[in-house]
Each structure stands twice: as structure tokens, then as C-alpha cells.
A and B are shown apart, each in its own frame.
Chain A
Amino acid sequence: MTTKPLLEARDVTKRFGAVDALRGASFQIFPGEVVALMGDNGAGKSTLIKTICGVYAPDSGEILFEGRPIGGWHPKAVQALGIETVYQDLALAPDLDTPANLFLGRERLKGGLLGALGVLDKSSMRAEASRVLTDLSVKIKDVNAPVNNLSGGQQQSVAVARAVTWADKLVIMDEPTAALGVPQTQAVLALIERVRESGRSVILISHSLPDVMQVADRIEVLRLGRRVAQLVTTETTEEQIVGAMTGAWTQEVAA
């Protein structure tokens, strides 16, 4: 890797009261790369990506996007850089329908005077939504039903579709396949490949070793709020990864 990292976290710490969620965590991803972020439950994976995308401000440490420090930025400002996130808790509005959720915070307005009055262009958003969903082979029977009426897997697909649609440079996915059946999981993995082919990067948090081995170029392992390994998937065995997660094996990490 000789190019500059797309995104880099350096020695990030984050405390919640008495809990040290991150104790100097570092992370790196390069353009066009799929990097899996792995680690035990409570290792700090979700906290790390939330500090990256602006939900939390880091207590200390740096977050650099294309060399620019973005730690503590507002989520909206981070989004404007082309970074989108699928949160572990999905972050959908359960009472709104699928198109409304896809366009949440980016509602499309009609042209002219109506647009100036804030009138939504519902039909164009609905058309765009069904185009996106077909593209991602997500099947939703009734896109006009509140997403709460969808199955957990469908809700997850909506959240993934939203992130992929809006991300120009980086998609962050926190356990996007946790609720999915085998075919849907394969669809998401195929989608991740397509995002990479389009030149964008993906951070994938997952507990599923086979999934990670299938799509990730590299694997970074967090343990107790710290990075303990940076591995290249093709040169790594599952035993090494498990060892890194449990602490049985520690790699000297070049920072």
C-alpha cells in the first residue's frame, strides 16, 4: 500500500462514564478497499465507527479523512464528505415508508414555486427508491407500508440500500447481515463487491468469518478498545483471526 489512506483513525479514545470503550484504537482503510473490522462483543467496534461518522466525538486521538482531521464533526458534515453508515440499530423511522426512509434527511423537492414552499416530490422519490431496490435485488412487497411492517431482514436491506445510494466514497456497515438469511446475506456481500468495483471503500463489521473471508481485502482486529492486528485476508488463517480476537495471539502493529 503506497497510496494515502482514505480514512485513518489514530489512537482514538472514548469513555462512557466508567467504561473505556476505546483505549487508543487505530484503523486504516485505502481507496477501493473492503476492510473488515472484527472483534469480540464489546471490543469497541460500534463505538469506533460512531466516532468516525460523527455520532460521538473522540475524547482524544485523530480521525483523518483524505488527510483532513474530521474528529468531532457533525454527522451531517461527515455525510457531506461522502461517508454513509448502516448502524447496528439500523436507525430507520419505523412509521415512515421505504422511500421516505431512503430519502430521510435528503428529501427531494418539487421544482419551481412548490419546491420553494417545501413541497416534496413524492413520485420521483418513489420511482428512484424502486429503481435502487431493484438494483440491489431487494424485494419489498409494499413500499408504501411503514418499514415497521417489514421483516427485520427487509428493514436491514432498506438501511443498506440507503447507505449505498448516498455514499460517494465510503460505506460503513455495522453487522449488516446479522438479521439476514443465506440468500439475502449473499446479496449484501455481492453488493459490497459492487461498491468496491465502483471505486468506493467499505468498512464491514461482522462476526461471521466466512463472510469476511469472502469479501474483505484486509481485516483489522479490535480487542478491548485497541487494534491488535492488521491482516491481509489471503495471507491469513481463520485461527489467526480468532486468536487475535481472543488475545491468544497478538501481532506487533505498525502504527
Chain B
Amino acid sequence: MTTDTLDATDTVAAPARRRLKVPRLLGSATDITLILILIVAVFAVLDFSSFFTAQNFTQILINAALLLVMAVGATFVLITGGVDLSVGSVLVFSGVIAGEVMQWLGGEGWGVSIAGIAAALLAGTAWGCVNGLVITKLRVPPLIATLGSYGAAQGLAQIITNGNDLKDVPSELVDTIGFGRVFGIPILVIIALVVALIGGLVLWATRYGRRTYAVGSNAEAARRSGINVDRHLLKVYAVAGMLAGLAGILSFAKFGTTTLAGHATDNLNVIAAVVIGGTSLFGGVGTMIGTVVGTLIPATLANGLVIVGLNSFWRDFAVGVVLVAAVYLDQLRRRSRSSR
């Protein structure tokens, strides 16, 4: 990052040349939104009556909700220039802790449900703090630190449950988070969108958001400006963990089981969504709108491909292509910037 700055200094004498506009536009959230609209349009043309309905769109949102909650946390993490591979395991672990706590408290009723939600959030936050401490205090790179907790959290979840999924969810949770609707909109979707909205506002409007960008853009500059970089990183990983914990209780309520084996690739899906949304893996750049759209693209592809009769495996292929294209555009933008 320091070299970035120095590079720019070397090019002083060059007259202010015009920037390459096209890749810059293509990488921004507006353009990824255009791609989403294009995908929707294609499926609408192929099978309007099945695809282009409020009911089907709701279904897409339901399918994307869990990933979106985790992607909100991952957006902050990636903007700091870090990465969190542990989210899927933390989701499972938090679901298990919530399940155990609720079982122990009797298994039914609102009090028990709220205790379960609190337990999941706490469990997730705890893992987030572990990640943050290992990264900032032990100086283990985020990739390795969170790969470690990816394995550890999954392992602990299996140990606690002996490998058998917990299946007792209080009916209060199933009826609300699981299947409940308000004005026809699933509560699950409302929660996910509210989380994204809050996350977006925090990122865009607050000091916390500003410092998240600063730390990812040039940690040394942030440090010298008196920002406590380590403490900020700890907070960011803690929030990412808390949101994975929230996803854990949401998942438990939605599926009625702790889905021990169902989240091994969540981390990669989350990172793919955030990166497709225009957040840079190198830190300093990203938006929450982009993340929302980036989460919806894989979900829409999966849904639409099945509706038009193609195997859903095509989704993996298409998401892979979109992901690489998104990062390529990001690289292009960076190159056009530093070679000004």
C-alpha cells in the first residue's frame, strides 16, 4: 500500500491524464446491478409465467437470506483487506449452541426462543473475537486464522452433538422466523434486508464505516493518524462472527435442524457474492448495495436455471464465470489507476 502511494508520487510530472472510464463504471455497483437485471430479463423472456412472479422473487430472496446476512459481515471484513473463511462453521456452531441451550431450558416458549437467539449471537461473536484476536495479537494472517476456526468450530459442533443434528426448534421460532410472514413478506427476508440496510448505513455514514475503509486502504496511514487499527479489526471480525451467529439461529428456525453438514462451502459463496458486488479483495473499496446484488445473482441464477429446465449445476458454472469476471474488472480498474 505504501508502494501504491509512492508510485503515484513518481508520476507527478505526468499531466493529469484522463482515467479509463469503462472498466471503472463496469466495476461499480450500478453495473453489477445491470448484470442482475439482464439475468432477470433473460429468464423472464424464457419463462415469464413461472419466473417473473412475486411469489418466485420471494422464493429467491428466501434462498439468499442466510447468505446475505453473512455477506454483510464479510463486506466489512473484505474492505479491511481481510477475509473470513469461518462463517459457515460458525453458523453451524452457533445453531448447535442455541439448540442445546433451548433444549436445556425446556424447548418451548418465547423466553426459551429469545435465550436461543441470544446464545447464537453470543456464540458467533465469541468466534469472531477469537478470529480478531488471533489476527491482531498473534499476527496470524486472516486467511489462516479463519481457516483454523473454520475447522475448529465445525469440529466442536460435531463433538457437542456427537455428529447428530439437533432437531428441536421451539414452535414460536418456526412460526415466525421459520415460516412467518408480515404483509406477505417472509420474516426471514425482512431480517436479512434490515441487517443489510443497517450494515449499509453503518458503512456509508458512520465513523466506524469510514475507518473500515481507512484500515483497508492504508493501515499504516490509519495507524499514524491515531486510529487504533487492531481494535478496529477486532470489532470488524466480532461483528462478522455475530452475523454468522444470527444466520445460525435463522437457519435452525428455517430448516428445523442444525444442518451440521450443510455449510461447508458457505464461506466461499459469501466471498464470491461480496466480490461480485464490487468489494475489492485488496481492501479499501466496496459497497453494501453491491453485496446485496452480488448475493442475489447466484440465487437468481440457481432459481432461474431450474425453472427453465437446466440442471442447477449450471449455477456453479455461471457463478464461477461471473466471479472471475468481477475480479478481473477490479484488477483492470486498479491497473488503470496506478499506471496513470
Contact = CB atoms under 8 A, between A and B. Distances in A.
A119 interface: yes
Given A105-B225, A148-B4, A152-B12, A91 B19 contact: no
Contact of A119 (B4, B6, B206): B206
A94 B9 contact: no
Contact of A100 (B8, B210, B220, B338): B210
A107 B207 contact: yes
Contacts of A94: 1, 4-5, 8, 217-218, 284
B272 interface: no
Contacts of A105: 214, 222, 225-227
Contacts of B217: 93-96
Given A79-B226, A96-B213, A149-B337, A120 B221 contact: no
Contacts of A95: 213, 216-217, 284-285
Interface string B1-33: 110111011111010100100000000000000
Contact of B5 (A55, A79, A92, A117): A92
Contacts of A152: 8-12
Contacts of A90: 5, 9, 221
A151 B16 contact: yes
B284 A118 contact: no
A92 B12 CA distance: 16
Interface in B27-54: none
A118 B225 contact: no
A242 B281 CA distance: 48
Residue from the set B6, B221, B340 with the largest chain A CB neighbour count within 10 Å? B221
Identify the interface centre among B202, B205, B210, B338: most chain A CB within 10 Å of its CB.
Answer: B210
A155 B1 contact: no
Interface string A179-217: 111000000000000000000000000000000000000
A75 B223 contact: yes
A138 to B, nearest CB: 14
Interface SS, A side: loop
A117 to B, nearest CB: 7
Interface string B325-340: 0000000000001101
Given A75-B224, A93-B221, A149-B337, A155 B5 contact: yes
Contacts of B10: 152
Nearest to A180: B12
Interface in A141-165: 141, 148-153, 155-156
Interface residues of B, number: 38
A122 B209 CA distance: 13
A227 to B, nearest CB: 25
A250 to B, nearest CB: 33
Interface string A49-93: 000000100000000000000000001100100000101011111
Contact of B227 (A96, A104, A118, A178): A104
A109 interface: yes
Contact of B220 (A91, A96, A180): A91
Contacts of B285: 95
B148 to A, nearest CB: 29
B199 to A, nearest CB: 14
B284 A120 contact: no
B9 A118 contact: no
Interface string B204-248: 011110110110111011111111000000000000000000000
A91 B226 contact: no
A89 B6 contact: yes
Contacts of B225: 91, 104-106
A75 B224 CA distance: 6
From A55, A104, A117, residue with most partner B Cβ within 10 Å: A104
Interface of B: 1-2, 4-6, 8-12, 14, 16, 19, 202, 205-208, 210-211, 213-214, 216-218, 220-227, 284-285, 337-338, 340
Which 3 pairs from chain A and chain B are nearest by CB? A105-B225, A152-B12, A95-B284
Given A93-B221, A107-B210, 15 more contacts: A90-B5, A90-B9, A92-B5, A94-B4, A100-B213, A104-B214, A104-B221, A104-B222, A107-B207, A118-B206, A118-B208, A141-B16, A151-B8, A151-B14, A155-B9
8 contacts: A76-B226, A95-B213, A104-B221, A104-B222, A117-B206, A148-B338, A149-B340, A153-B12
